[in-house]
Structure 1
Amino acid sequence: MGTGSQPGLNKSLSTLQLWGIAVGLVISGEYFGWSYGWAGAGTLGFLVTAAFIALMYATFIFSFTELTTSIPHAGGPFEYGRRAFGPTGGYIAGYATLIEFVFAPPAIALAIGSYLNVQFPGLDPKTAAVGAYLVFMTLNILGVQIAATFELVVTLIAIFELLVFMGVVSPGFSLANFAKGGWSGQDTFSLAAIPGMFAAIPFAIWFFLAIEGVAMAAEEAKDPKRSIPIAYIAGILTLLVLAAGVMVFAGAAGDWTKLANINDPLPQAMRMIVGDSSGWLHMLVWLGLFGLIASFHGIILGYSRQIFALSRAGYLPELLGRVHPRFHTPHIAVIAGGVVGLLAIFSDEWISFGGQTLTANIVTMSVFGAIVMYIVSMASLFKLRRAEPALARPFLAPLYPWFPGFALLAALVCLGTMAYYNPLIALLFVALGALGYGYFLLTHKRRARVLAAIGA
């Protein structure tokens, strides 16, 4: 909504477009990122980790939908945290969501560069990543209808391509390949495999990361209380099927150890079956880009709405909350998030540590934000059930309190294990949060003026 003469966001998104955003936000996680989990856990160990994370996401989404339909706000988790726990709760949720959505795109942009490098070996992946940012920031600024329609189209193409991948590698499918050394390098399970399974949690989360971003498009939905539950539930079911299929078919294609620690596991898995010169391989590289582009483009939409909402509520500088007078999109927020992402792409010196690649560390940083946001969101659901029993809830979390309770407990387990295995990234996450909190404390007068202006 606008304030004064400030233009507002357009309410124009359909249920199908919201489903496209839900799946598109995440689908790059099927194309890359997850295979880093194989490096420590092995295929079978990672399968167990992924099943646990899938259960966490299923219970989380069914619970999160209650919040999204009750409070359809562009700030999403930030608004839920603020309403349940006051300004500080809003800050924690908003900061965590920003980290998730601002750090996910540079990882995806680097993967886009890696996929293009397969076709054009002379093209620097970082140069391609910068080009991707410029193109898709522009597309997001041009209007939400254009952005959402594009997102739906590329998401459908990306789903089709994943199905093609499974079909092409199926002649070489062998469960023996998948299971060989599947427990952290061993053929049989032992307690020694457990640490690797815990360490792989961030990469299992990458399979589903950012699906909650649909909440940030809630103000632009035609009928959010009806369409968002459909989009979320259909979206998580779509992603569960695709994640399981991609992981098993890729691991069964040959020597899966060659697919760990790389940004393009699907083309490399297909290469094992069809060879270097096959047209199938080149088709996968080109069409596979659609999956990466769908998530990249969708998450830019998500981070821009989060920055916009935080600025509108007085948590970030007022400039970031401006809406383009012609396109009705938060154009300054789009650009600001892009600048942070580009800095991350060229941040090898300060974020490539802990023995992991730059991409793996950026993925882990994004996941830290997601997990903290999940924790605040589920805590907000419990608090609002008690504090606002009369709040209109078009969709109720099923099996309450068990579903949100399991999602909350699982997220706490993930946060603890991630901090243990990634202490430097955890420290960076906390340090950035502390700096942001300093700004939060210094700007309390502006937030008071904003709240007084809107009568909150």
Structure 2
Amino acid sequence: MIQHLKPTLNAWHLWGLAVGLVISGEYFGWSFGWGSAGTLGFMVVALFVALMYTSFIFSFTELTTAIPHAGGPYAYARRAFGPTAGFIAGFATLVEFVFAPPAIAMAIGAYLQVQFPDVSAKAMAVGAYVVFMTLNIVGVRTAATFELVVTVLAIFELLVFMGVVAPGFSTANFVAKGWAGQDTFSMAALGGMFAAIPFAIWFFLAIEGVAMAAEEAKDPRRTIPRAYIAGILTLVVLAIGVMVFAGGVGDWTKLSNVNDPLPQAMKAVVGENSGWLHMLVWIGLFGLVASFHGIILGYSRQIFALARDGYLPGWLAAIHPRFGTPYRAILAGGVVGIAAIFSDELISFGGLTLTASIVTMSVFGAIVMYIVSMLSLFGLRRSEPTLERPFAALGYPVVPAIALVLACVCLVAMVWYNTLLAAIFAGLMALAYLYFLSTHRQRAALLPAAATAG
């Protein structure tokens, strides 16, 4: 019998999820982009990526509201182009959402080490997995309410950070050697800017995860557009503010290769023993927790939907008899994430740190999914012109085309500057495709039920 998730989430829950899924990107990860692009070069890249995400969200919302399905992009691509396209979108989304949490968990460990230097960051990262997988299993409404609360606290803390470091801000600090280590723009700086694209994407990565809560949303045709639009506007403002203030308080090069740039930036203004610094560490954890917890919700729904429709082993689609959550999918993603945390030698490539490598792998999945989703939007406009679209893509076809073209530019740049990681991503997709081919009969048997779920 087909398994369904219950609609329990309102617009505030969904806004909290939209922002919470992403907000850890304001706390860490993005500063690795300074290492290759510099502050000014990275600012240009971040604005470029913000344009891509804004146009993407105003287009993607059409798909989410027209086809509210826990599989999100996978469901749209399957409906537009068939099972193979559904596989590509589903695999890409799975890579994005399974590889993002270990990077965030490592940042949680780095933040906690500021307070507890003798405790292993990896041990604390694993502890975070245990706590938040448990919370997600207990119930989606409880999880979403928690997500909303920690997201609001995380936003408050980012505003506090900007206010506390503002007296130490200097434009001269921010622009010094701001073009990839040089004071003036050059072709070398342009190369560094392209290399920094994954870290600008990290500012906004996973906002599309709200689509995977669509089955659990009350009146998704109204609540999801509100959550998406308010969410992307919130995140653009926060991303620019955090980047500018952190880069202007001292030597920004010291923040370009660390997992905790905000505490380190605040140290330059208030010193190591300030109460403000300790408050940032503790309250700042809410930003990391919000994304970590929200992405666990996202990857579990993706695994659940793929398993329910025969793209993954069917036992992963089991729903807990008491809590009504896809508990096996939650645990399965956690096992992969914890393995990634302890795979330093396997995942660190091309001089990148473990965190930077995991971030880049997650971004590969995201960009492929964005491209397939925009193609699906165009495909469904042609094949199903009468499909009810409660929120039609703004500025169609220009705005979706902008999102598609910019996503393609990002993918080409990422492959060029991360050849080995791109090859690994392609290799994983090839292995998954072999499984996809071997389970054709399994999907055929589930076809009527899958069509009902979609």
TM-score range, shorter chain: over 0.9
One-letter amino acid of the structure 2 residue matched with residue 152 of structure 1: L
Please state if 1:65 is matched with 2:76.
no
Distance in 1 separating the partners of 2:396 and 2:217: 27
Distance in 2 separating the partners of 1:408 and 1:107: 27
Which residue, out of 91, 98, 105, partners 2:94? 98
Aligned pairs for 1:187-336 (under 5 A) are 187-336=183-332
One-letter amino acid of the structure 2 residue matched with residue 179 of structure 1: V
Distance 1:454 1:94, change over 3 A: closer
Shift of 1:454: 5.1
**Partner SS state of residue 16, structure 2:** helix
Shift of 1:114: 0.2
Which residue, out of 416, 420, 444, partners 1:420? 416
Q: TM-score, normalised by structure 2?
A: 0.99
Distance in 1 separating the partners of 2:364 and 2:108: 23
Distance in 2 separating the partners of 1:455 and 1:121: 52
1:378-425 per-residue CA deviation (whole Å, 9 max, x = no partner) reads 000000000000000000111111111010001111001100100110
Distance in 2 separating the partners of 1:334 and 1:83: 26
Shift of 1:349: 1.5
One-letter amino acid of the structure 2 residue matched with residue 56 of structure 1: M
Distance 1:438 1:22, change over 3 A: same
Distance 1:455 1:11, change over 3 A: closer
Shift of 1:453: 4.1
Which residue of structure 1 aligns with residue 108 of structure 2? Answer: 112
Which residue of structure 2 aligns with residue 445 of structure 1? Answer: 441
Distance in 1 separating the partners of 2:146 and 2:451: 37
One-letter amino acid of the structure 2 residue matched with residue 107 of structure 1: A
Which residue, out of 11, 15, 20, partners 2:16? 20
Which residue, out of 22, 26, 40, partners 1:44? 40
Distance in 2 separating the partners of 1:109 and 1:351: 15
Aligned pairs for 1:84-95 (under 5 A) are 84-95=80-91
**Partner SS state of residue 319, structure 2:** coil
Q: Percent identity between the aligned chains? A: 73
**Partner SS state of residue 138, structure 1:** helix
105-114 vs 190-199, which moves further = 190-199
One-letter amino acid of the structure 1 residue matched with residue 67 of structure 2: I
Shift of 1:191: 2.0
Distance in 2 separating the partners of 1:158 and 1:325: 33
1:189-223 per-residue CA deviation (whole Å, 9 max, x = no partner) reads 12221000000000000000000000000000011
Shift of 1:229: 0.2
Aligned pairs for 1:304-453 (under 5 A) are 304-453=300-449
Which residue of structure 2 aligns with residue 174 of structure 1? Answer: 170
Contact 2:7/2:215, CA 8 A, preserved across alignment: yes
Distance in 2 separating the partners of 1:123 and 1:273: 27
User: Structure 1 segments of 4 or more deviating over 3 A?
Assistant: 452-456
Distance in 2 separating the partners of 1:222 and 1:452: 25
Distance in 2 separating the partners of 1:123 and 1:269: 23
Q: TM-score, normalised by structure 1?
A: 0.98
Contact 2:309/2:450, CA 8 A, preserved across alignment: no
Q: CA RMSD in A?
A: 0.8
Distance in 1 separating the partners of 2:332 and 2:69: 21
Distance in 2 separating the partners of 1:148 and 1:276: 35
Which consecutive residues of structure 1, in runs of 5 or more, have no partner in the other structure?
none
1:211-265 per-residue CA deviation (whole Å, 9 max, x = no partner) reads 0000000000011000000000000000000000000000011110000010000
Shift of 1:455: 5.6
Which residue of structure 2 aligns with residue 122 of structure 1? Answer: 118
1:276-298 per-residue CA deviation (whole Å, 9 max, x = no partner) reads 11000000000010000000000
Which consecutive residues of structure 2, in runs of 5 or more, have no partner in the other structure?
none
1:15-74 per-residue CA deviation (whole Å, 9 max, x = no partner) reads 000000000000000000000000010000000000000000000000000000000000
Distance in 1 separating the partners of 2:292 and 2:160: 21
